[in-house]
Chain A
């Protein structure tokens, strides 16, 4: 199975400041169809996960534009330009290029 490794595991951030979360895959996520099926999910406390980003950098419907994402090879990054209180939670990367789909271990975003 593809291993997704996230860093950091915990990220204390000041409100209004940027935040960045990284995710590395153990193998290339380039699918034979030319797409990279890497998504980012947010899980607020006590809530189910919510899709933020799909195919590396596409924001899902309703996701604020302070969330952005990018990739460099097997390294993927989620960025929040200015952290708001509602952004507190755990963020997961997920790959669906290879079977089975696998998730990172999660990065906890908390306010300093």
Chain B
């Protein structure tokens, strides 16, 4: 069974750096074609893709947020980590990690999400 679970702080101060961890099971990020993305959803609003990391360590970022984002993986721990610098209240959202099924090019498995509030 494939699962993903996000973890991280629920509250972040403005200007701080947010670090989120996605711990997954049921697949390996060393398998060709595998990738994990981070996607966020502000309250009551639509989904926004943030970043993706591939099995071969290729990394892709949302163009408008690229300077603030860093994605990495630890294959020994089955984890993907997202860092976002200079947090602002507009970054308040539920942050999801999801697996991209390569051949379908669709997000087939999602984590439950973690709500992050940016406030002083």
Distance from B109 Cβ to chain A, minimum over Cβ atoms (Å)? 8
Range class of the B interface residue count: 20 to 34
Of chain B, the residue at the smallest CB distance from A1 is: B63
Q: Is the interface of B mostly helix, strand, loop or mixed?
A: strand
Give Cα distance in the complex from A39 to B110, angstroms: 14
CB-contacts of A29-53 with B (<8 A): 35, 37, 39, 41, 48-51
CA distance A24 to B42 in the complex (A): 23
Query: In the bound complex, do residue A99 and residue B48 qualify as a contact, i.e. CB atoms below 8 Å apart?
Result: no
Interface size band for A? 20 to 34
Is the CB of B72 closer than 8 A to any CB of chain A? no
Distance of A24 Cα from B53 Cα, bound (Å): 28
Q: Which residues of A contact B (CB under 8 A)?
A: 1, 35, 37, 39, 41, 48-51, 54-55, 58, 60, 92, 94, 96-97, 99-106
